[in-house]
Chains A and B, each alone.
Chain A
Amino acid sequence: MIELYHVSKQYERDIVALSDINLKIKKGEFSYITGPSGAGKTTFLKMLFAAERPSSGQILIAGRNISRIKPRDIPYLRRQIGVVFQDFKLINHWTVFQNVAFVLEILGTQRKDIRRTVLQTLKRVQLHHRADSYPQKCSGGEQQRVAIARALINQPQILLADEPTGNLDPEITDEIMKLFVEINDRGTTVLFATHDRNLIKVYPKRVISLKSGWLISDSEETGSGEFGRLS
């Protein structure tokens, strides 16, 4: 599903974000991207939805090389990938419904279909009662679930998450985590960046560890990553 060959990213002459990353992520897989701050987790994810371009190397998503993707093709790539951020990235003067519905609006979906699909998706993240609320009236956990609903509504094959639980307390984190696992169970490939070791212990999956831009371990290859591979 996702393949990286010798991918490097250099911001300026001496700021290296990623160095020679080689990686294959299979369809339907759940993988953590972990490592301390500045390890390159965010850059890694950004390159997958073309917010950054690799300085060298090739990235293939569903067999398509996106390393040299044309700017006008980027929106169409992003429609196939759901992204969830630590800071939710919701539009505050739109209701929960509007935030989620926007994805379908840009696709030109019929209004009645939009309404049905949005309410269904909000139900899936248990937020259907919040449809008409504004994000700032919602708790952090609720806001993140809105963001997840937005990422899911288009039924993307890939879901990227950049520290999605970073701003949430442990109970809410658990709730959100369960949601990601459930999404993955339904067949979506999930890439989950986190530095929360506890989370990885509780929900063990493939762990890809980065440090200073280098891929230092991958539980898939060694058979036991930093925290072992229990499932």
Chain B
Amino acid sequence: MKLGFAFRLFLQNLRASRNLNILSIGIITFSFLILGLFMLASRNLELVVEKWGEQIQVVIFLKDTVKEPELKNIEQKLKGRPEIKAMVYVSKDQAIGRLRNILQDKAKVLEGMDRNPLPASIEIQLDKKYRNLGFIEGFARELAGWPEIEQVFYGQNWLKNFLSLYRIFRALTYAIGGLIFLASAFIVYNTVKLTVYSRREEIGIMKLVGATDGFIRIPFLLEGVTQAVSASVLALFLLWVLWFVFHRTVQIPFQLFALSGISFLDTGQVLSLIGAAALLGILGSMVSFQEFLRV
């Protein structure tokens, strides 16, 4: 009964201060749109970086003495390991073929050789979780100990640079994202406060006739949450429109980024943005409400 009344009151409040609500939703939408744009940009950058990360490879060069059964044995041993996402066997013939392709018209230099000097190899792509220097070094050391293996190569210097760049990128993303989130939270809080402020007299009157704080609070909580959540949905929609238009009209040489196109936020991100909005709406109205309760 009481909850039903609180809900009716909330609907009535929405109607009574339509303009204020539109203004509030507009402001919150704008701040969420900025947050969303940042999330979109960092997600796509992250995808690019991840794509680059896929190039982290451990290449093992096999001794020329390795024959078919030993090769099978090695492949079998590697297949069982969860750290390995994919692996490709490159035979001696394939290796020289690749070299010919690279040399193109200068490939003649290879013709004078009486035997193929290139070793057979296995190129191993690691699972995302294991793309860190510590693991890769240990893994390479272990493989180097196998009798069939001549040498293990994993682009040591490139890897070190890449991984430290990746760490900086992640830290920057969290720092900037955190700042933008704080700014949004501050804006949401102040906007919700505006609504409560516009009703401070009403709150006072309700208290004078004996309404408990909890009872008065419910319609305001609902209003704060409605404002924040509808603003976040609106911001996501606008973001999607922007993304869609950009995606369709702007032709970026995506190969440059090793991507097939710009991705939209994933479901988890969309849901957490809406969830964060709901939380901010509740917190905003609770905190600002407390300030106007002293009657």
Contacts and interface: CB of A to CB of B under 8 A. Distances in A.
Contacts of A108: 1-2
Please tell me the size bucket of the interface on A: 20 to 34
Nearest to B295: A51
Interface string A88-128: 01110110000000110110101100000000000000000
Given A51-B295, A93-B16, A75 B2 contact: no
A78 B209 CA distance: 6
B211 interface: yes
Interface string B197-236: 0000010111111111101000000000000000000000
A205 B260 CA distance: 90
Contacts of A111: 1
B139 interface: no
Contacts of B12: 93-94
Interface in B155-210: 202, 204-210
A79 interface: yes
B5 A90 contact: no
A106 B209 contact: yes
Contacts of B204: 89
A83 B12 CA distance: 25
A91 B206 CA distance: 9
B212 A72 contact: yes
Given A93-B16, A105-B2, A83 B212 contact: no
B210 to A, nearest CB: 4
A72 B213 CA distance: 8
A178 to B, nearest CB: 24
A51 B213 CA distance: 14
B210 A105 contact: no
Contact of A78 (B16, B210, B215): B210
B207 to A, nearest CB: 7
Interface string A69-92: 000100111110001000001110
A44 B67 CA distance: 104
A150 interface: yes
Interface of A: 49, 51, 72, 75-79, 83, 89-91, 93-94, 102-103, 105-106, 108, 110-111, 150, 154
Interface of B: 1-2, 5, 12, 16, 202, 204-213, 215, 295
10 contacts: A51-B295, A77-B210, A78-B209, A78-B210, A83-B208, A89-B208, A91-B202, A106-B2, A106-B211, A106-B215
